[in-house]
Structure formats: C-alpha cells, structure tokens
Amino acid sequence: MTAAGGAAPVAAGLFTNPDAEGAIRLLGQRCRACGACFFPGGRMSCIRCFGTELETVELDGAGKVECLTVVRQAPKGYYGPLPYAIGSVVLGADVRVLAQLVGRAPEAWRCGDAVAACVFELPRARDGGDPALCYGFRPSASAAERTAAERSR
Ligand SMILES: [Zn+2]
C-alpha cells in the first residue's frame, strides 16, 4: 500500500487507505459478546470480558480530545519534529486512542477540541530515510470553523 507521497504505513492493519486529503479510519476490534471496542486491534481476547470472538471494525473517524500534553524531548526512536502534542482522543461511544495531534501549533490544542483521524509522515531514522505513515488526529472542519469564529470576535 502506498499513499501520501509513497510512504508506507508504520505497521499493517492499523488504518484504512488514506483518501486524497489524508483522512483515514482507524481499524479496531469489537467484541461480539459484550460489544466493547478497542484500538489497536490484534488482540486474542476482549479487554473487558475476555471473550475471544473479536471482529475488525472501522472506528469513527471523528472524535474529541479528552486530555493532552506537549512533548518537548524526543522519546527513544522518535526522529520527528519537536515539540509535538499527544492526546487521548475519544472516538464514538467509548474508544480511547492515544496519538499525536497535528495540524496546529502544539500549544494551541485544548481539551474538548473536535478532531478527525488522519495520516502524517514521520522519519524512521535520525538521518531521515524513508518516512513512515503514522496515524494521528487533526482539527476537524467544525473545530477550524470555531477557531475562525473566535478570532473574528
Ligand atoms: Zn467483551
């Protein structure tokens, strides 16, 4: 699979093929016994009831930032730009995903911001090399409209 300039996904099975604007749906798992959904998938049993009948599902593309922090020091193996924002995003009913928040300055993010799942490229090595396509969240259209409305006041 190639997309967004030919970069390959950081791992297989995490998200759908990005559209022309880089929008994706994350691929999670749903438990047939209790209905719990979670991300990432690839589990053998449910995180709530330990049921083993799990199916792969496309999670909601839209969500809300529950909480976030700004990372100023690179963790081991991270070669992307600093600082960056990372947030816990709630998708749909009760699926929480920890991912990078992109598309605006790290300090500009707020809890409650509306977001949409997207892909972005990160270098795989200190000297660059082929980037990896990673999942993250960017401001959704409604969030962009709200910011514009706040500025015009
Ligand atoms: Zn379950």
As a residue count, the chain comes to 153
Contacts of range 105-112, beta carbons closer than 8 Å, 24 or more positions apart = 106/70, 106/71, 107/70, 109/65, 109/68, 109/85, 110/65, 111/65, 111/66, 111/67, 111/68, 112/64, 112/65
Return the closest-CA partner of residue 114 out of 147, 81, 82: 147
Residue 32 lies in a domain: no
The domain tally of the chain equals 1
Q: How far is the CA of 25 from the centre of ligand 1 (A)?
A: 22
What pLDDT, on a 0 to 100 scale, did the predictor assign at position 92?
A: 82
CA-to-CA separations, 115 to 14, 64, 79, 90, 100, in angstroms, rounded: 18, 6, 24, 10, 11
48 Cα–ligand 1 center, Å = 5
Q: What is the per-residue pLDDT for 149?
A: 54
Instruction: Find the CATH number of the domain harbouring 79.
Output: 2.40.50
pTM of the model: 0.85
Q: Walk along the chain (153 residues) and give the pLDDT tens digit of each residue.
A: 444 457 889 889 999 999 999 999 999 999 999 999 999 999 999 999 999 999 999 999 999 999 999 999 999 989 999 999 999 999 986 899 999 999 999 999 999 999 999 999 999 888 877 899 999 999 997 645 555 555 555
Q: Is residue 52 part of a domain?
A: no
Spacing, Cα 65 to ligand 1 middle (Å): 25
How far is ligand 1, taken at its centre, from the CA of residue 45, in Å?
Answer: 8
Q: Which domain holds residue 103?
A: 61-145
